[in-house]
Structure 1
Amino acid sequence: MITLPRIMLAALVIIGGYVFVVAPRVDAYVNPSAQWQEKLAEPRPSFTPAPSAPGRKAPTFPAAGTGFFGVFTDKGPGDLTDYNGFVQAAGKNPQVMMFASGWGAQPHFDRQPFDRIVNRGMLPMLGWEPWDYRAASKTDRDRGTQPKYQLARISGGDFDAYITEWAKGIKELGYPVAIRFAHEMNGYWYPWCESANGNQRGDYVAAYRHVHDLFKGLGATNVIWVWSPNVVYENATPLSRLYPGDDYVDWVGLSGYYGTAGMETYQTFEQIYRGTLAELKTLSKRPIVVTETAATDERGRKADWITDLLQTLPKHPEIIGFLWYESVKETDWRIAASPAASAAFAKGIAQPYFDAHWTPDSVPRRTLATAAATPAASGSRSN
């Protein structure tokens, strides 16, 4: 969720022809007081877990040999306009929906966004962001400065009451929730980035582990923890300094887009993600989720990129799903905005590989698949 190019133009000139692709800033936040006009009409989810039986295992999400697809919109579950357009264009219901919540703007836990997602048959993923986005600067470098939200203050306990309220609320939901805490920490554009806001080396891991341990101590074990950097780039903070360890991570998430402003030269999914995927193999044994991606149509190749994406993902057994950013921000990222993009997306996810099925009693896949267990990945490297 970055604004315009995150890599300074001067660096791009020096690199000479190299085009780095990053995620745009989307600033997608749920403001319950403004957006939950229908909250009284939204029932709490009701579901009956499959009956237990000797030897029965809960279903794994996603099941071996499949991958999920999800959606991330600017307004989240508070306004389903873009979500509905996405479903119509895709011709198929997503299995995951992500929304963002900033600590400064959403001071209290509200279960309504989560319930609204689950009532539509999807796993909720919370982008949980320790800052006040309303006070953020419009420039990448300055928007990472908010001393109140320094990482050392999080690990030092200044926000424990806030974290505890959310942990108790999520525990009481009674169904799984994925939490993508303080994402894209290897950049410089958020107050929780280790290279910003007066943070020091080691502060990010300490803050992440502190939040995780508070949830665990309160029995909020229905959380899928998602550690989610941006795709690597020149001068980014090394991922090895930021990874909290497999004991603290269930899924590794990645952000990476084709075609942020000034970077419209075509690049395939492999060109954008290859270096980061290789680095992650040395750090983690957890499955990978592409938590943010989309493509520009500036050069008329959005449909081509989508086709490439959906043909490539099944060849990566380490990747178990992706979320498309279906909104208008720096450009119109929506598949619904283009008949060609809609057709390419619908064709791609019609593959049996994307027939993953989520239920509230599912358990997240936490181990890497292998090429042998993933028929669609013939010819790919296994983990």
Structure 2
Amino acid sequence: MITLPRIMFAALVLIGGYVFVIAPQVEAYTTPSAQWQEKLAEPRPTFAPEPSRPGRRPEFFPSPGTAFFGIFTEKGPGDLTDYNGFVQAAGKSPQVMMFASGWAAQKHFDRQPFDRIVNRGMLPMLGWEPWDYRAESKQDQDRGTQPDFRLARITGGDYDAYITEWARGIKDLAYPVAIRFAHEMNGYWYPWCESANGNRRGDYVAAWRHVHDLFDRLGAGNVIWVWSPNVVYENSTPLSQLYPGDKYVDWVGLSGYYGTAGMETYQTFDQIYRSTLAELKTISKRPIVVTETAATDAQGRKADWITDLLQTLPKHPEIIGFLWYESVKETDWRIAASKAASAAFAQGISRPYFGARWSPDMLPRTTLPAASQSAPPSGAPSATASATPSASRSN
């Protein structure tokens, strides 16, 4: 859990994939984006610390009354082609960049992707994925079957050496890093989903807490922990069963697109996200980040959807930011792919509401505005309750 004392310590140091109602079968969405493709090493970031003065209050990211926008690309910071096109189309730079890293493919910690993001004025968000995406089954029902990455093995310590190396590496960065660990866990298509790979109810929460606690014991207090399910769909695993608790989560992430399997018909942002947002209010008090979203242009309504997205988000104070998937996969999700989409996006984020800025000495905003908080209904599970073991499976 990221804390004020830890961030203050870090400041002193500075001074001296896809989302689906049902995910389509595609070649692994996670690519070795953390693999460095540049011949020259990225220089380590240097920062001019804010002058200290008595009574100076810490700044939060994003500042109250604003939201950030970010980018997620298939190739990540190793190839900035899509990033550069996005910035040109949007007319301004994002404040967050996410990249994916699979445990089997990325054997060792490498700071260069993180440094490259920070050197461009963005908070790095690591999509940390405990699997071998290269071995994903072509059979839909077996996509999440990888016994080597069963959740019980993570909790049992089989990957402690690997986790420890990354925890120490991220700690040494001495600037904030968001970690989106084992996302879309309420589906069936990844080995860490409780409905797949021989996992059992309660295994996901145990694995999450085990990884979190290792980082904590090693003093990696510069981590923003992002718990990121898929938008709920029929027969998806209940979110309350998978939530590690507010003590273990800083931001709640969500993935949801217009145009993937089950969402081919035009639906607004609220239609896609409404039921999930309502469910989250019963289990968490943490701010929400839309960690993956985009829209198809198959029916010529991509610009309409973008306009709706950017008009709707300010009506949800619990959502403090979003990341656009700027890549070509099962369709061309890029805003840079059309003039209409680029214009709609640029116009939407020109509003002051999307004027958040980020710097390494800022603290992550981890509480909700009072108006957006609501108490869990009577009988709802506590935000810090463990998932209770059960023989039943959701899917």
TM-score in same-fold range (> 0.5): yes
1:6 to 3, 7, 22: 22
Change (3 A) 1:202 1:261: closer
TM-score, L = length of structure 2: 0.87
Structure 1: distance between partners of 2:160 and 2:19: 30
1:29 to 24, 27, 32: 32
Aligned AA (1:148): D
Residue 326 (structure 2) pairs with residue 326 (structure 1): yes
The 5 A counterparts of 1:91-240 are 91-240=91-240
Aligned residues: 358
Change (3 A) 1:325 1:214: same
2:259 is aligned to: 259
Contact 1:118 1:124 survives alignment (8 Å): yes
Between the two proteins, what is the percent identity of the paired residues?
78
Please list every run of 5 or more consecutive structure 1 residues that lacks an aligned counterpart in the other structure.
9-21, 372-380
Q: Give the secondary structure class of the aligned counterpart of 2:224.
A: strand
1:260 Cα deviation after fit:
1.2
1:92 Cα deviation after fit:
0.6
> Which range moved further: 127-136 or 253-262?
253-262
Structure 1: distance between partners of 2:38 and 2:18: 29
Measured on the aligned residues, the alpha-carbon RMSD in Å equals 1.9
Contact 1:246 1:285 survives alignment (8 Å): yes
Change (3 A) 1:262 1:183: closer
1:261 Cα deviation after fit:
4.7
TM-score, L = length of structure 1: 0.90
> Which range moved further: 43-52 or 333-342?
43-52
- CA displacement 1:200-251 (0-9 Å, x = unmatched): 0000000000000000000000000000000000000000000000000000
- CA displacement 1:305-333 (0-9 Å, x = unmatched): 00000000000000000000000000000
The 5 A counterparts of 1:306-317 are 306-317=306-317
Contact 2:19 2:256 survives alignment (8 Å): no
Structure 1: distance between partners of 2:59 and 2:28: 35
Q: Give the secondary structure class of the aligned counterpart of 1:216.
A: helix
1:58 Cα deviation after fit:
2.2
Aligned AA (1:248): Y
Q: Give the secondary structure class of the aligned counterpart of 2:323.
A: strand
Change (3 A) 1:262 1:153: closer
2:9 is aligned to: none
Contact 1:2 1:189 survives alignment (8 Å): no
Structure 1: distance between partners of 2:58 and 2:295: 36
Structure 2: distance between partners of 1:149 and 1:262: 28
1:71 is aligned to: 71
> Which range moved further: 137-146 or 333-342?
137-146
Change (3 A) 1:50 1:7: closer
Aligned AA (1:38): K
Change (3 A) 1:316 1:25: farther
1:27 Cα deviation after fit:
1.9
Structure 1: distance between partners of 2:108 and 2:137: 24
Aligned AA (1:141): Q
1:4 Cα deviation after fit:
7.5
Contact 1:180 1:227 survives alignment (8 Å): yes
Contact 2:66 2:355 survives alignment (8 Å): yes
1:39 Cα deviation after fit:
4.1
Change (3 A) 1:3 1:305: closer
